Amino acid sequence: MYLNKCKKIIASKCIRSKNILNICHYRNVFIMGIETSCDDTGCAILNENGDILGESLDSQHFVHLKHGGIIPPIARDLHRNNIENVVNQAITRSGLKIEDLTAIATTVEPGLPMSLLIGMKYGKYLCRVYKKPFIPIHHMKAHALTARMFDKSIEYPFLVLLVSGGHCLLAIAENVEDFLLLGKSIDNSPGEIMDKIARRLKLRNLIEYTALSGGRAMELAASKADNPLQFNYIIPLLHQKNCNFSFAGLHNQISRMIESEEKIHKVDPDEVIPSVHNLCAGFLLTITRHLCHRVQRAMEFIELKNLIPPERRILVMSGGVACNNIIPKGIQMVCDEYGYKLVRPPPKLCTDNGVMIAWNGVERWKSQVGVCSDLEKITIKKSSPIGKDMIEDLEKANISCKWIKVTNIMNLSTI
């Protein structure tokens, strides 16, 4: 049955390569996913149900931590050194051979060009040698759709909030390919800012924070706060009636506070300010409220334009910052008010990995969207919009909201 369907789809899409037609003789679908868009070299093999047959991930986190940020040529060299091992490890763990694969999906946009190139070249090399189709993957779309892998009740269209070290956006996923962009960051991403602040706070000098990402370190510091309202932060873009995000102003606010606290407490160059817990808690609370405002307006817009059927409203929150356990508590309050189910992939699948790329490959293979047999046509892109820009339409709708009160997300009675 599946075989016939597969043959029909392929014939109708006019994919005439002999190699691709050979794939119809496979009884099962096995998709490999390769991810190298930033600082993680990831590979995974999934079957058509999204079962993970084998995976491998090499994180460059500790190397970049030493340099105080990602240095693109260093990231590239590490990807180059590790990709073969990572791929071999994933395929060995799956019990399959590369010959058994149906197709190879690889991230080609958006990301660090030097990093993307390594994955794309390796993916193409495997496709050439083993005569497999290539499935080019958009990194953010892959983040957005991962939730469908483990929660099969998530149907298109659904709302998605992507918060990571490279992005911050709100979109509606209409299908595997088409997205409507409702809001995006006008400056930095939340993860990028948290990484910078954690470094500025010198949290790494305290043993319990040494191995953590900036975002996770700030979350841990915030969880020890006794008064998250000690510092007065201003919520960004309060008067802009859109769903865009901004984090640069918040970065300035906290930088000034750190400077002033360092003077007040006369801290040594390597020392961490004593008020660090309340400072991080107030910061996380402000980020949460900012995200909640944008999500709330997006939900109002969706209702106004009838973009998602009311009976199956889902908000997927993904990307590295979605690993945070404080921010989603606020988002959950907005979801409760508007009747949305909030779905977050497990933390391991929120950050970059090969599994999400392979899953996107599975979805694309099943609907035969973007499967490519002409390797020459595939290139990398540093930036690439997730879909149709609806930001102007949203602004025109001029939606005012009565903000939902976001309180007690730190499990303290004071907020």
> Which residues would be at the binding site for ligand KG4 (CB under 6 A)?
38, 164-166, 191-192, 194-195, 213-216, 219, 319-321, 323-324, 351-352
Do residues 316 and 172 touch, judged by C-beta distance below 8 A? Answer: no
As a whole number of angstroms, the distance between CA 409 and CA 329 comes to: 6
Q: Give the one entry of ligand KG4, Zn ion, none that residue 185 binds, where binding means its C-beta sits below a cut-off of 5 to 8 angstroms depending on kind.
A: none
* 76 or 313: CB nearest ligand KG4: 76
> Whole-number minimum distance, CB 162 to Zn ion, in Å?
8
Question: Could you give the CA distance from residue 163 to residue 202 in angstroms, rounded to a whole number?
Answer: 24
Between 320 and 354, name the residue whose CB sits nearer to ligand KG4.
320
**How big is the CA angle at 411 (ends 405 and 412), to the nearest 5 degrees?**
85
Residue closer to Zn ion, measured from CB, 58 or 352: 352
Q: Which is nearer to ligand KG4, 75 or 333 (CB)?
A: 75
Stretch that binds Zn ion, among 157-165, 200-208, 332-340, 389-397 (CB under 5 A): 157-165
Say if residues 21 and 41 touch (Cβ distance below 8 Å): no
Query: Are 126 and 397 contacting, i.e. CB atoms less than 8 angstroms apart?
Result: no
DSSP label at 94? H
**352: nearest Cα among 165, 170, 203, 200:** 165
Query: Which of Zn ion, ligand KG4, none does residue 109 bind (CB under 5 to 8 Å by kind)?
Result: none
Report the partner that residue 361 touches, choosing among Zn ion, ligand KG4, none (CB closer than 5 to 8 A by kind).
none
Instruction: Out of 352, 358, 360, 371, name the contact with Zn ion by CB under 5 A.
Output: 352
Contacts to Zn ion from residues 77-136, by CB under 5 A: none
Nearest CA-CA partner of 338 in 369, 315, 363 = 315
Residue 195 touches which member of Zn ion, ligand KG4, none, C-beta under 5-8 Å by kind:
ligand KG4
Binding segment toward Zn ion, per CB under 5 A, in 223-231, 251-259, 287-295, 352-360: 352-360
Angle between helix axes 190-200 and 276-305 (nearest 10 degrees) is: 170
Contact partners, residue 256, CB within 8 Å, separation at least 6: none
Nearer to ligand KG4, 96 or 250 (CB): 250
For residue 351, with 0-12 CB atoms within 10 Å meaning exposed, 13-18 middle and 19 or more buried, which class applies? Answer: buried
Least Å distance between CB 219 and Zn ion? 18
106 binds, among Zn ion, ligand KG4, none (CB under 5 to 8 A by kind): none
What is the C-alpha end-to-end distance of the chain, expressed in Å?
A: 58
Shortest distance in whole angstroms from residue 386 CB to ligand KG4: 13
Q: Which two tokens stand for residue 176?
A: 């595997």
Nearer to ligand KG4, 195 or 363 (CB): 195
> Which one, 111 or 330, has the nearer CB to Zn ion?
111
| Least separation in angstroms between CB 373 and ligand KG4 | 29
Which DSSP string corresponds to 343-375?
E---HHHHSS-HHHHHHHHHHHHHHT-S-BS-G
With CB under 5 to 8 Å by kind, the binding choice for 157 among Zn ion, ligand KG4, none is none
What CA–CA distances, in Å, run from 413 to 145, 228, 366? 36, 10, 49
Contacted by 316, from Zn ion, ligand KG4, none: CB < 5 to 8 Å by type: none
Q: Is 213 one of the binding residues for Zn ion (CB under 5 A)?
A: no
Question: Looking at this protein, which amino acid is placed at residue 334?
Answer: V
Contacted by 380, from Zn ion, ligand KG4, none: CB < 5 to 8 Å by type? none
**Binding Zn ion by CB under 5 A: which of 41, 60, 164, 318?**
164
Q: ω before 309 within 30° of 0 (cis)? A: no
Closest approach, Cβ 139 to Zn ion, in A, equals: 6
Candidates 65-73, 156-164, 269-277, 283-291: pick the segment binding Zn ion (CB under 5 A).
156-164
State the Cα–Cα distance between residues 111 and 72, nearest whole angstrom: 11
Nearest approach in angstroms of CB 107 to ligand KG4 is 10
User: Which residue lies nearer to Zn ion by CB, 110 or 183?
Assistant: 110
The string of DSSP codes covering 144-177 is HHTHHHH-TT--SSEEEEEE-SS-EEEEEE-SSS
Say which entry of ligand KG4, Zn ion, none residue 322 contacts (CB below 5 to 8 A, set by partner kind): none
Q: Which residues bind Zn ion (CB under 5 A)?
A: 164, 352
